[in-house]
Amino acid sequence: MLRFALLAILIPLIARMFWRAVDHFIEGLAGNNAQPGHPASRPQAPPQGVQMVRDPVCGTFVQPERAVTLLDGRARVFFCSDACRDKYRARPERVEGRTA
């Protein structure tokens, strides 16, 4: 009977540890990408409470810590991808005084 009691304690503990590990694993997978199946995902509207910056090339809002950055003179510009950064850098003239 002692063995049964031990199992009754151990099984929920192990199950909890297992699911916590699974949660961490899924979080790690989703961490680098925007959640693809998010029901309220609107790319043009930044979520409240999170400091977002706007990609001047395509207009996407990105998180500064995940964005691709470029130093344009004194200003740091944020981009969603290397492609947008290259496009911005390749422009023949930079538009001055435009605050989008």
Kind of pairing between the strands at 68-72 and 53-54? unpaired
Question: What is the smallest separation between the CB atom of 43 and Zn ion, expressed in angstroms?
Answer: 10
Note the residues at the interface with Zn ion (CB under 5 A).
55, 57-58, 60, 80, 84
Instruction: Name the token pair of 41.
Output: 């995902």
Question: What is the smallest separation between the CB atom of 30 and Zn ion, expressed in angstroms?
Answer: 20
Paired with 75 in beta bridges are 72
Nearer to Zn ion, 29 or 58 (CB): 58
Nearer to Zn ion, 48 or 70 (CB): 70
Instruction: Write down the number of H helices and E strands in the chain.
Output: 2, 4
Nearer to Zn ion, 23 or 86 (CB): 86
Question: What is the smallest separation between the CB atom of 42 and Zn ion, expressed in angstroms?
Answer: 16
Lookup result for tokens 């981009």: 79
Fill in the DSSP letter of residue 34.
-
